[in-house]
C-alpha cells in the first residue's frame, strides 16, 4: 500500500510541478482513506482518476493515478463522483479516433453523477449533499472529485437510481432526439433499428412505446440470442430478429400487423445497415448514429431510385450546441422521471472503481457481449 501511494504521489507531483504549464483542465482530488482531510476548505481533496497521457489502446494507456487538490473558486462546486459509465465514445476519445477529444494528459469519461462535496462562497442554489450531473456532459468524469463552475452542474432528484442518473445523457437523450427530430411519427407508426441491445437501442424501444410507436429490432447473431429477444420484447419491442433470420428476399413478409417503418436507426454499419434499409418504406429515412462493426454502409442504386430513401446522421455533441439544446435539462429531467417510474430501464453492471481494468475489458468487448459498464466510485 505504501508503495502504491508513493507512486501516486510522484505522479501527482510530476503533474503539479513538472512543467511550467498551468494545471490540466480537468480537476483533481482525494484519497478514499480520507488521509488528506487537512486541506483547506477552499481546496478540493485529491482525486483518484483514470488518466491517459497519450492516445492509444485504452487498456494500455489508461492508468489510475492520484491527482493533487485544486482550488474551489467562488463560483465553483466540488463534486464527489458517485458513478460514471464507459461508453463507446469514451473509448474512441482515448483511442484518438473521435472528432473532438480533450488534450492529453486527460481524465477519461464524459458523463456521470456526483454529490456536491463543497461549494465556493458565491454559489447559490447548490448545497453539499445535492446530487448533480454535468450538463452538458464534459470530459473528465472518471475520477473521485471534480471541480467545475456551478452553472455546469444540473441538480437532479436524489430518488433517481444512481446508475440511471449517471447514464441519462449520452444514450437516452440520443434516443429521444432521434425519435423526435427526423420524421413526424404518430402513434401506431413503426421504426426499425439495428444494435437493439445497445443502451440507445433499449431506450428507443421504450421511448417509442411511450408514444405508441412500434419497433422492429435487429440484433446480431450471438450466444443467448433467444434470451435477448425475450428481454427486448419485455421492454416493449414488437419484433426482434437476429440478422441471419433476415436473409430473405421480402423481409416485410415477416411483419404481421406492423406497418412499414418510415424511420430507421443504424449504429452498426455493414450488413446490419442494409437490413434496416430493407425494412424502410418508400421515402423512408435511415439515421446513422454509430458504427460498432467498423464496416461501411453500402446502399443499392435501387434504394435511391425506386425507394427514394434518405440517409441522415445524428451526433449528440453537435445537437448540444444547437438552439434546441436550450431545453436539454428539461429533457433530462423527463428521462430521469421515466427511470423512476420504471418506464425506462436498461441493462447495466456496476463495477467498483478498484476493478476498473475489468470493466474496461468488458466495455472493449474482450469478454463477449456485456451489459453497459458503470464505474461506482
Ligand atoms: N451519435 C451520437 O451522438 C451517439 C450518442 C450515443 C451513442 N452513440 C453510438 O451508439 C452506439 C451504441 O452506443 P451504446 O452506448 O448504446 O452501446 P452499448 O450499450 O455500449 O452497447 C454496444 C452495442 O454494440 C453492439 N456491438 C458491439 N460490437 C459490435 C460489433 N463488432 N458488431 C456489431 N455490433 C456490435 C453490441 O451488441 P451485442 O449486445 O450483440 O454485443 C451492443 O448492441 C455506439 O456506436 C455509440 O458510439 C452515438
Spell out the SS3 assignment of 186-214: CCCCEEEECCCCCHHHHHHHHHHHHCCCE
- Which ligand 1 atom minimizes the distance to the CA of 369? 41
Residues of the chain with pLDDT under 50: 1-40
What is the per-residue pLDDT for 325?
A: 81
What is the per-residue pLDDT for 270?
A: 98
What is the per-residue pLDDT for 33?
A: 39
Of 207, 267, 361, the one to substitute when testing ligand 1's pocket (max ligand atoms within 8 A of C-beta) is 267
Alpha-carbon gap, residue 219 to 272, rounded angstroms: 8
Distance 152 CA to ligand 1 centre (A): 27
Nearest CA to ligand 1 atom 43: 198
Is any atom of ligand 1 closer than 6 Å to the C-beta of 198?
yes
- Say if residue 307 is exposed, middle or buried (CB neighbours under 10 Å; 0-12, 13-18, 19+): middle
Q: Which DSSP category does 327 fall into?
A: G
What is the per-residue pLDDT for 15?
A: 32
Distance 285 CA to ligand 1 centre (A): 20
Distance 198 CA to ligand 1 centre (A): 5
Is any atom of ligand 1 closer than 6 Å to the C-beta of 81?
no
CATH class entry, domain 2-167+347-376: alpha beta
DSSP-derived secondary structure for 267-290 = SSBHHHHHHHHHHPPTT-EEEE--
Q: Which residues contact 36 (CB under 8 A, 6 or more apart)?
A: 30, 45, 46, 69
When computed from its CA atoms, the radius of gyration of the chain, rounded to whole angstroms, is 22
Alpha-carbon gap, residue 371 to 186, rounded angstroms: 31
Distance 325 CA to ligand 1 centre (A): 23
Angle, alpha carbons 29-34-35 (nearest 5°):
95
> Which residues of the chain are in CATH 3.40.50.720 domains?
173-315
Distance 100 CA to ligand 1 centre (A): 19
**Is residue 98 annotated as part of the catalytic site, yes or no?**
yes
> Which residues of the chain are in CATH 3.90.180.10 domains?
2-167+347-376
Give the helix/strand (H/E) hosting 148.
strand 145-149
Could you say which of 52, 98, 110, 164 is catalytic?
Answer: 98
Is any atom of ligand 1 closer than 6 Å to the C-beta of 87?
yes
- Which ligand 1 atom minimizes the distance to the CA of 201? 16
Is any atom of ligand 1 closer than 6 Å to the C-beta of 292?
yes
Instruction: Name the residue among 151, 163, 158 with its Cα closest to residue 126.
Output: 151
Fold of 173-315: Rossmann fold (3.40.50)
Is any atom of ligand 1 closer than 6 Å to the C-beta of 268?
yes
Amino acid at each position: 500500500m505504501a508503495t502504491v501511494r508513493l507512486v501516486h504521489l510522484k505522479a501527482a507531483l510530476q503533474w503539479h510541478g513538472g512543467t511550467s504549464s498551468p494545471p490540466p483542465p480537468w480537476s483533481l482530488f482525494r484519497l478514499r482513506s480520507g488521509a488528506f482531510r487537512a486541506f483547506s476548505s477552499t481546496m478540493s481533496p485529491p482525486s483518484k482518476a483514470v488518466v491517459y497521457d497519450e492516445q492509444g489502446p485504452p487498456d494500455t494507456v489508461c492508468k489510475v493515478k492520484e491527482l493533487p487538490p485544486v482550488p474551489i473558486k467562488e463560483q465553483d462546486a466540488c463534486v464527489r463522483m458517485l458513478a460514471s459509465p464507459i461508453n463507446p465514445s469514451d473509448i474512441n476519445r482515448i483511442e484518438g479516433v473521435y472528432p473532438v477529444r480533450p488534450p492529453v494528459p486527460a481524465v477519461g469519461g464524459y458523463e456521470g453523477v456526483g454529490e456536491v462535496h463543497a461549494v465556493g462562497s458565491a454559489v447559490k442554489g447548490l448545497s453539499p449533499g445535492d446530487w448533480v450531473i454535468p450538463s452538458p456532459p464534459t470530459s473528465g468524469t472518471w475520477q473521485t472529485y471534480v471541480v467545475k463552475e456551478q452553472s455546469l452542474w444540473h441538480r437532479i432528484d436524489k430518488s433517481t437510481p444512481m446508475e440511471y442518473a449517471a447514464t441519462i445523457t449520452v444514450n437516452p437523450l440520443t434516443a429521444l432526439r432521434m425519435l423526435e427530430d427526423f420524421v413526424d411519427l404518430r402513434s401506431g407508426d413503426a421504426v426499425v433499428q439495428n444494435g437493439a441491445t445497445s443502451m440507445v437501442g433499449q431506450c428507443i424501444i421504450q421511448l417509442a412505446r411511450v408514444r405508441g410507436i412500434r419497433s422492429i429490432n435487429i440484433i446480431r447473431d450471438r450466444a443467448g440470442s433467444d434470451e435477448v429477444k425475450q428481454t427486448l420484447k419485455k421492454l416493449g419491442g414488437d419484433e426482434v430478429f437476429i440478422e441471419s433470420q433476415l436473409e430473405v428476399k421480402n423481409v416485410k413478409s415477416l411483419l404481421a400487423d406492423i406497418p412499414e417503418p418510415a424511420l430507421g436507426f443504424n449504429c452498426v454499419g455493414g450488413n446490419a445497415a442494409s437490413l434496416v434499409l430493407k425494412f424502410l418504406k418508400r421515402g423512408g429515412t435511415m439515421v446513422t448514429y454509430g458504427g460498432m462493426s467498423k464496416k461501411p454502409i453500402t446502399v443499392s442504386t435501387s434504394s435511391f431510385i425506386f425507394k427514394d430513401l434518405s440517409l441522415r446522421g445524428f451526433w449528440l455533441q453537435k445537437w448540444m450546441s444547437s438552439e434546441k439544446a436550450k431545453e436539454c435539462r428539461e429533457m433530462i429531467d423527463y428521462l430521469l422521471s421515466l427511470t423512476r417510474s420504471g418506464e425506462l430501464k436498461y441493462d447495466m453492471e456496476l463495477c467498483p472503481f478498484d476493478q476498473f481494468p475489468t470493466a474496461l475489458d468488458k466495455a472493449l468487448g474482450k469478454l463477449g457481449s456485456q451489459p453497459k459498464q458503470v464505474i461506482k466510485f
